[in-house]
Structure 1
Amino acid sequence: MKILFFYTHNQSFLAAFFKELLLTLQDKGWEVQVFSFKKVGNTFTDPLRIDIKKKQNYLKNTIEVFKAIRKYKPDVVVSNFSYVNQAILSGKLLGVKKNIVWFHTLTEQLSPRKSQVVIKSQFLKYASEIIVNSDYLKTDLIENYSISKDKIFSIPFWSSLENYNSKRERSNKEPLLKIGCPGRIEDVKNQQLIIESLKDFKLHISYGLYIAGSGDNEEFLKSKIQNYNLESKVHFLGVLSIEEMKLYYEEMDIIILPSKFEAFGLVLIEALSMGCPVLVSENFGALTYIKDRKFLNKYSFNPKSSNDLISKLNNIFANEMDSSDYFIDIYLTYFQKKEIIAQVEKVITL
């Protein structure tokens, strides 16, 4: 069986997930081909066959997608993000029966015009199946795009960092409490909530907030930090590589993830897989897979309320955080790689 997968081949965590998934399918006997657009074209054959074409305008890109499907004659096409409309249209014209969309983004995150939603709805209706990464997204597609629930399958991600797990025990007895906040620095990521909370949060030890990532909201955050005289406590680390993120999670005593909403939230399961304590916005799609009531009650908070975040922080420090093993167990219980791969195989072989 041949599978042609359209995604952007780069150094992102999502690309790392897709690469590991496709390598596993390849080991299981699938003939796997990846197609990607980037600034410069290239071709790789080991360990995956990857065909990279130079990204051009929409029409030329559509022609390249069409040519790829015609060339490789796949039994299954899977596409995501900007490849979806082109892959569905080309697959329809070329008679591909198994044309799957892997959808990642909530409508709230895209803020699309009504016309864009209508157009996307028409394309999605031609998909044979749609994989989403949370029940939040499934509901979104049903309510906003009028997609039948029977063709939508919720499948989580696993963490590409899980093989690096150090299971290091952390202690608040260290002289400096290291608070981490990884992710794009955008309004929706809500880092300002942490800043608002820290100005009123009284700790008996010194602390530092380490923000990993970059984005349009960085200058706004820095102005808030300056207004609250927190310059000595807040540090911007920029974009970190996968290996650097592994070290980052090992260094942090707690990770706070305050996003206003997340379709899934890879950063949560990355932290869990590294055994790092987390406080996470209750609007993370990944939480829909976790059934542990203690975790949900103790380690999630309302991203609209600095008081709730402060309350959860106080509760954790008053009663002590759970061990590294507790967070690893949460990850291994609800995001098992073998089960996720089995779910994907079930969808692509329906």
Structure 2
Amino acid sequence: MHIMFIPSWYANERNKVHGSFFKEQALALQNKGVKITVAYNEIWPLTLINKVKEKSGLYFNIEDNLRTYRYKNYNFIPKSPLMFKVFNKRMEKLFKEIEKKEGKIDIIHAQSSLWGGISAAYLSKKFNVPLVITEHSSVERGPYIRESYIPSIVDSYNTAKKLIVVGNGLKKELKKLTNRDDIKVIGNLIHFSKFPLKDKKVDNKFRFFSLAFLEGEKGFDTLIKSFSKAFKNMDNYELVIGGDGSQRKWLESLAFEEGISDKVTFLGALAREDVSKWMRKVDVFVLPSRYETFGVVYIEALASGTPVIGTFNGGAEDIITHDNGYIVDIDDIDSLARAMKDITINKEKFVPEKLREDCFKRYSPDIIADKIISVYKDIVEEGEV
């Protein structure tokens, strides 16, 4: 079975880790014996004119053991639906080149509708190849979504033989857009080798860790207020916040206003290796987001054997159970403060080895790859291939 794997964003010269979870999924599928060819429409913004050293056009390389074809060029008509016609033609060139060099394509699998899924739908209809889309992003909340894009996005969903989402909250949203009852939920995977089991404690401080872009939807203001309410006048409790963003200075001033600036540490942006280290050395991971489509940081914590606290934000409730942490209502300062206090009292309930084992059974590469391969097999059995 040959899969044309289309990521909507991917690693490039300017961002080496962009779309890393797409690459990890492609590798997991390839490791299970599926023939994967990555096809990426690498779109350069006009702000990079005269700055990009590469030439535009079609490229092939083996990247991290994946056969990868790229079509590179500028987006000459940004923010216009007309750009999709240009993208479609570029993706058509990739399709023809891949079939010529790699053989017949059995299934097209796009990661997110914007931008790859829209062009994947065009290919599916033109070349009569069944389409799978895995959606990772919200149409309602997506920062790059314009009203004029929505018809093309919805058309891609309805063109797909199989539509996958990473969380049940996103499933509800897409069901309203498409009226489809066959949307399947398959979460993201993580490589457990990158998140070893947590370290043994070396001091008596109880540390909460949080990590995300420091933006409004992540709920860091609620977190700081809840931490203050629970631990302001108590010794040996710390809140460590990783990540950077537009709210950092405001959040630092909020911690000062709450009288807990001596208990709150802002680390700034972290490399993935540093994320792993912090997940292992803290007692609890907490992120009270106002919205998540999935929430990979929760499973990175659980893989490290660290219990989690989250909110009913659309993604966390698929991950968090009473066996691995606490989940509370969005922006409920009192409930979050109680959960943070309760977990300090009941910390012995959360055995690191068991947290990791349960997480592995749900989100390891083999488990997620098998679920996706099952979708491919359904298409074959339905006679589409």
The bucket for the TM-score relative to the shorter chain is 0.7 to 0.9
Moved more, 53-62 or 9-18: 9-18
Which whole-Å CA distance do the structure 2 matches of 1:327 and 1:294 have between them? 8
1:53-132 alignment to 2 at 5 Å?
53-57=71-75, 58=83, 60-73=86-99, 74-81=105-112, 82-93=115-126, 95-110=127-142, 115-132=148-165
Name the CA shift for 1:55/1:238 in 2 (closer, same or farther; >3 Å).
Answer: farther
Name the CA shift for 1:310/1:51 in 2 (closer, same or farther; >3 Å).
Answer: same
Q: Is the 8 A contact 1:66 1:91 kept in 2?
A: no
Per-residue CA deviation, residues 45-74 of structure 1 (Å, 9 max, x unaligned), is 151112234352135443321211122132
1:323 to 351, 360, 366: 351
Q: SS in structure 2 opposite 1:110?
A: coil
Which whole-Å CA distance do the structure 1 matches of 2:37 and 2:10 have between them? 12
Q: Is the 8 A contact 1:38 1:55 kept in 2?
A: yes
Aligned to 2:333: 306
Q: Is the 8 A contact 1:77 1:96 kept in 2?
A: no
Which whole-Å CA distance do the structure 2 matches of 1:289 and 1:176 have between them? 27
Moved more, 162-171 or 212-221: 162-171
Q: Is the 8 A contact 1:179 1:255 kept in 2?
A: yes
Which whole-Å CA distance do the structure 2 matches of 1:110 and 1:141 have between them? 13
Q: Is the 8 A contact 2:294 2:316 kept in 1?
A: yes
Q: SS in structure 1 opposite 2:341?
A: helix
Aligned to 2:69: 51
Aligned to 2:196: 166
Shift of 1:114: 5.1
Percent identical among aligned pairs is 23
Shift of 1:335: 2.7
Q: Is the 8 A contact 2:157 2:178 kept in 1?
A: no
Shift of 1:249: 0.9
Which whole-Å CA distance do the structure 1 matches of 2:139 and 2:27 have between them? 31
Task: Name the aligned partner's letter for residue 6 of structure 2.
Answer: F
Name the CA shift for 1:294/1:30 in 2 (closer, same or farther; >3 Å).
Answer: closer
Aligned to 2:79: none
Q: SS in structure 1 opposite 2:267?
A: strand
Q: Is the 8 A contact 1:75 1:96 kept in 2?
A: no
1:231-250 alignment to 2 at 5 Å?
231-250=261-280
Name the CA shift for 1:302/1:269 in 2 (closer, same or farther; >3 Å).
Answer: same
1:338 to 366, 378, 384: 366
Per-residue CA deviation, residues 250-274 of structure 1 (Å, 9 max, x unaligned), is 1222111111121111111111011
TM-score norm. by structure 2 comes to 0.79
Shift of 1:19: 2.5
Name the CA shift for 1:265/1:227 in 2 (closer, same or farther; >3 Å).
Answer: same
TM-score norm. by structure 1 comes to 0.87
Which whole-Å CA distance do the structure 1 matches of 2:316 and 2:4 have between them? 27
Q: Which runs of 5+ in 1 are unaligned?
A: none
Shift of 1:337: 3.4
Which whole-Å CA distance do the structure 2 matches of 1:325 and 1:13 have between them? 29
Aligned to 2:298: 268
Per-residue CA deviation, residues 14-47 of structure 1 (Å, 9 max, x unaligned), is 8443333322433444332112326566643151
1:195 to 224, 234, 247: 224
Q: SS in structure 1 opposite 2:74?
A: coil
Per-residue CA deviation, residues 74-107 of structure 1 (Å, 9 max, x unaligned), is 22111123211122123322x1421111101234
Name the CA shift for 1:234/1:192 in 2 (closer, same or farther; >3 Å).
Answer: same
Q: SS in structure 1 opposite 2:241?
A: strand
Which whole-Å CA distance do the structure 2 matches of 1:215 and 1:132 have between them? 27
Q: Is the 8 A contact 2:22 2:111 kept in 1?
A: no
Per-residue CA deviation, residues 172-201 of structure 1 (Å, 9 max, x unaligned), is x82433221111221111111111112222
Shift of 1:165: 4.2
Aligned to 1:278: 308
Any runs of at least 4 consecutive aligned residues in structure 1 with deviations exceeding 6 A, and if so which?
11-14
Q: SS in structure 2 opposite 1:139?
A: helix
Which whole-Å CA distance do the structure 1 matches of 2:98 and 2:26 have between them? 16
Aligned to 1:178: 207
2:288 is equivalent to residue 255 of structure 1 = no
Shift of 1:13: 7.5
Q: SS in structure 2 opposite 1:45?
A: strand
Which whole-Å CA distance do the structure 2 matches of 1:20 and 1:308 have between them? 36
